[in-house]
């Protein structure tokens, strides 16, 4: 079955196509007017099994990090770094920048 599928993937060589009975020219609908040079040679087409190993587009398999760490915060796969990153981001971002920062801006003297 797999061999059959592989046959389906590969294009039929041109020499085998030439052995097929040809229709009269007047009845053919899809006769190509371009020469043989314009058709893609079978060797240029590669099936998926012929991709080089370590293909550059391959992504690492996706892992749900919540499975490994139920307390995942979205920062890092390492749980300790993840928690500390979350704490630092909230402390400097919310407690300092938003709260202290907006208090500072509120008490600035008016200008203009």
Partner 1 sequence: MLKILLPTIMLFPTTWLAPMKWLWPISLTHSLIIALLSLTWFKWDSDIGWNFSNQYLAMDPLSMPLLILTCWLLPLMIMASQNHMNSEPIIRQRIYLTLLISLQSFLIMAFSATELIMFYVMFEATLIPTLIIITRWGNQTERLNAGIYFLFYTLIGSLPLLIALLTLQNSLGTLSMITMQYSQPSELLLWADKFWWTASVMAFLVKMPLYGVHLWLPKAHVEAPIAGSMILAAILLKLGGYGMMRIIIMLNPLTKELAYPFIILAIWGIIMTSSICLRQTDLKSLIAYSSVSHMGLVAGAILIQTPWSFAGAITLMIAHGLISSALFCLANTNYERTHSRTLLLARGIQIALPLMTTWWFLTNLANLALPPTPNLMGELLIISSLFNWSNWTIILTGLGVLITASYSLYMFLMTQRGPIQNHIPSLIPSHTREHLLLTLHLLPMLLLILKPELIMGWT
Q: Are 83 and 96 in contact (CB under 8 A)?
A: no
Q: Report the residue from 60, 68, 69, 79 that binds partner 1 according to the rule CB under 8 A.
A: 60
Q: How many residues bind partner 1 (CB under 8 A)?
A: 33
Q: How far is the CB of 57 from partner 1 (least distance, A)?
A: 10
Which residues, other chains included, contact 83 with Cβ-Cβ below 8 Å and sequence gap of 6+? Answer: 71, 73
User: With binding defined as CB under 8 A, does residue 89 bind partner 1?
Assistant: yes
Place of tokens 């993840």: 82
User: With binding defined as CB under 8 A, does residue 88 bind partner 1?
Assistant: yes
Q: Tabulate helix, strand, coil % of the chain (nearest 5).
A: 50, 0, 50
Q: Report the residue from 15, 22, 29, 111 that binds partner 1 according to the rule CB under 8 A.
A: 111
Nearer to partner 1, 18 or 108 (CB): 108
User: With binding defined as CB under 8 A, does residue 73 bind partner 1?
Assistant: yes
- The span from the first CA to the last CA of the chain, in angstroms, equals 83
Strands (E), the chain: none
- Point out which residues bind partner 1 (CB under 8 A): 59-60, 64, 66, 72-78, 81, 84-86, 88-90, 92-94, 96-98, 100-102, 104-106, 108, 111-112
């Amino acid at each position: 079955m797999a061999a059959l599928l592989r046959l389906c993937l590969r294009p039929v060589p041109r020499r085998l196509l030439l052995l097929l009975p040809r229709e009269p020219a007047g009845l053919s609908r899809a006769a190509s007017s371009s020469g043989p040079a314009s058709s893609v040679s079978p060797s240029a087409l590669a099936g998926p099994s012929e991709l080089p190993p370590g293909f550059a587009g391959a992504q690492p398999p996706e892992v749900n990090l919540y499975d490994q760490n139920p307390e995942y915060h979205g920062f890092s796969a390492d749980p300790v770094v993840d928690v500390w990153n979350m704490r630092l981001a909230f402390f400097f971002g919310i407690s300092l920048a938003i709260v202290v920062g907006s208090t500072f801006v509120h008490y600035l003297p008016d200008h203009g």
